[in-house]
A and B are shown apart, each in its own frame.
Chain A
Amino acid sequence: MGEVQEKKVGIISCSGEDCVEGTISRVATRQALGKLRPNETVTICLPLFLAGGREEREFARDYPTITVDGCDKMCAKVATERYSGKPASSIVVTDVLKNLHCPKLSSRRKLNNETLAVAEKVAEKIAEEVDEVLRHWV
Chain B
Amino acid sequence: MKMDTTNQKKVIIIPCSGIGKAFGSISRDATFEVTENLRKDNTQTLCLALLVSGDEDSKRLVRDNKCITVDGCPLQCAEKNVKLAGGNLTGSLRVVDTYKENRHLKPRSITFLDPDGQQMALKLAEKIAEKVDGLLEDQ
Contact = CB atoms under 8 A, between A and B. Distances in A.
Nearest to A20: B1
Contact of A43 (B19, B31, B45, B78): B19
Interface residues of A, number: 33
A66 B55 CA distance: 22
Nearest to A119: B111
Nearest to B45: A17
Interface stretch (B10-18, B89-97, B99-107): B10-18
B71 to A, nearest CB: 8
A46 B29 CA distance: 17
B53 A22 contact: no
B136 interface: no
A51 B53 contact: no
Interface residues of B, number: 34
Nearest to A47: B77
A88 to B, nearest CB: 19
Nearest to B24: A45
Contact of B29 (A1, A30, A109): A109
A30 B75 contact: no
B47 A107 contact: no
A14 interface: yes
A130 interface: no
A75 B15 CA distance: 16
Contacts of A53: 75, 77
A79 interface: yes
Given A18-B50, A26-B19, A27-B111, A47 B45 contact: no
A50 to B, nearest CB: 4
A111 B10 CA distance: 26
Interface in A59-109: 73, 75-76, 78-79, 107-109
11 contacts: A14-B47, A17-B17, A17-B45, A18-B3, A29-B19, A45-B20, A47-B17, A50-B48, A75-B49, A76-B49, A78-B53
Interface of A: 1, 13-20, 22, 26-27, 29-31, 34, 43, 45-48, 50-53, 73, 75-76, 78-79, 107-109
